[in-house]
């Protein structure tokens, strides 16, 4: 889709530094009175579709991430998708190493960080469900390198967001890490995952409706930061899943495609907000 150009032939005076049109009402903003700043970290590439896994090498090369990559996976997801990732990266002359994790604990995060540093890896890839992606997300963030999210199931929106769920000191905690620089979602692989995982992804998205209401309550009662844009995007993803629930069926790649896109929207909403509020509430 080509970006649309904004025409300046609106009939407004070019002398005003900022002109805003809301319906038929025009207001001029005083530049000196506005001081709001907001930084948003969003994925640069999102690939969703059939055989998307085969584009991981091309995406890595186009982003100029480097020539050494650490693949974080578990034993199962390495077989399902990790081997293809290795092959595609090798075809682009990107050297790889594997780190197969048993769980997503702080110990695995520290180990991933150490391997990235000692191995001089330029970037990391999280291949699998939530655990490998969360470990890769935190480990790469701590080591100061980018990471690519390669989910093998569409069970939650964390595959796109900057948040990670990690076991630390006996408790599961939500940690701020980094948004993936790219997301590769192969709908063929995701459609073959257990349907309960796809259903869990739908439930995760639908719960956004309650999360946004809770977030708005925190804004009203505690003056917490609230992004109307992030909230609207989060709610839109939830309503689309509800309206199309009857079309989401087991082993149907089109169903996986639809849920993946909704998860991307939910994850991007969190990146815009800079927190998990659009999907978890206050």
The span from the CA of 275 to the CA of 278, in Å, is: 8
Domain stop point among 169, 190, 211: 190
Whether residue 53 is found in the same domain as residue 165: yes
Whether residue 98 is found in the same domain as residue 55: yes
Mean pLDDT of 254-259: 96
> Does a structural domain hold residue 19?
no
> Does a structural domain hold residue 171?
yes
271 or 264: whose pLDDT is higher?
A: 264
Whether residue 90 is found in the same domain as residue 162: yes
Give the strand pairing for 68-73 and 123-128. Answer: parallel
Tens-place pLDDT, residues 208-252: 999 999 999 999 999 999 999 999 999 999 999 999 999 999 999
Whether residue 229 is found in the same domain as residue 126: no
- Which domain, by its residues, includes 271? 197-280
Whether residue 168 is found in the same domain as residue 240: no
Tens-place pLDDT, residues 172-181: 888 888 999 9
Indicate the range of 13-22, 36-45, 143-152, 206-215 predicted with least confidence: 13-22
Q: How confident is the model at residue 74 (pLDDT cuts 50, 70, 90)?
A: very high
Order of all β-strands in the sheet with 182-186: 45-49, 182-186, 147-151, 123-128, 68-73, 95-100
> Does a structural domain hold residue 186?
yes
From first CA to last CA, the distance across the chain in angstroms is 36
Whether residue 201 is found in the same domain as residue 185: no
Domain stop point among 162, 190, 218: 190
**DSSP tag of 245:** G
- Give the Cβ contact number of residue 93 at 10 Å: 9
Whether residue 123 is found in the same domain as residue 207: no
> Does a structural domain hold residue 102?
yes
> Does a structural domain hold residue 8?
no
Domain stop point among 190, 217, 246: 190
> Does a structural domain hold residue 89?
yes
CATH of the domain at 100: 3.40.50.1970
pLDDT score of 131 more than 80: yes
pLDDT score of 113 more than 90: yes
Q: Which residues 6+ apart lie within 8 Å of 167 measured at CB? A: 103, 104, 105, 106, 173
> Does a structural domain hold residue 34?
no
Q: How confident is the model at residue 154 (pLDDT cuts 50, 70, 90)?
A: very high
In terms of residues, how long is the chain? 282
> Does a structural domain hold residue 18?
no
Number of structural domains the chain divides into: 2
Whether residue 145 is found in the same domain as residue 68: yes
What's the whole-model pTM score? 0.84
pLDDT at 255: 96
Tens-place pLDDT, residues 26-46: 445 555 576 777 777 889 999
By percentage, how much of the chain surpasses pLDDT 70?
A: 88
Whether residue 75 is found in the same domain as residue 147: yes
């Amino acid at each position: 889709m080509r970006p649309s150009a904004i025409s300046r032939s609106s009939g407004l005076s070019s002398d005003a530094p900022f002109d805003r049109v809301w319906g038929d009402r025009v207001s001029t903003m005083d530049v000196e009175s506005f001081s709001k700043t907001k930084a948003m970290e969003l994925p640069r590439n999102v690939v969703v579709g059939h055989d998307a896994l085969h584009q991981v090498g091309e995406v890595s090369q186009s982003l100029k991430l480097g020539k050494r990559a650490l693949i974080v996976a578990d034993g199962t997801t390495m077989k399902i998708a990790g081997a293809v990732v290795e092959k595609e990266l090798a075809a682009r002359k990107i050297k790889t190493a594997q780190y197969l994790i048993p769980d997503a604990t702080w110990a695995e995060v520290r180990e991933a960080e150490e391997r990235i540093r000692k191995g001089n890896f330029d970037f990391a890839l999280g291949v699998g469900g939530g655990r490998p992606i969360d470990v890769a997300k935190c480990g790469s963030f701590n080591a100061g390198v980018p990471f690519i999210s390669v989910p093998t199931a569409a069970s939650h929106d964390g595959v796109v967001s900057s948040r990670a769920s990690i076991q630390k000191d006996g408790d599961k905690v939500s940690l701020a890490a980094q948004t993936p620089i790219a997301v590769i979602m192969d709908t063929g692989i995701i459609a073959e995952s257990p349907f309960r995982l796809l259903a869990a992804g739908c439930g995760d998205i639908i719960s956004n409706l309650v999360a946004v209401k809770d977030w708005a309550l925190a804004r009203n009662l505690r003056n917490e930061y609230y992004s109307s844009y992030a909230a609207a995007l989060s709610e839109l993803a939830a309503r689309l899943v509800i309206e199309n629930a009857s079309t989401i069926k087991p082993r149907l790649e089109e169903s996986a495609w639809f849920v993946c896109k909704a998860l991307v929207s939910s994850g991007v909403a969190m990146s815009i907000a800079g927190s998990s509020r659009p999907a978890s509430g206050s």
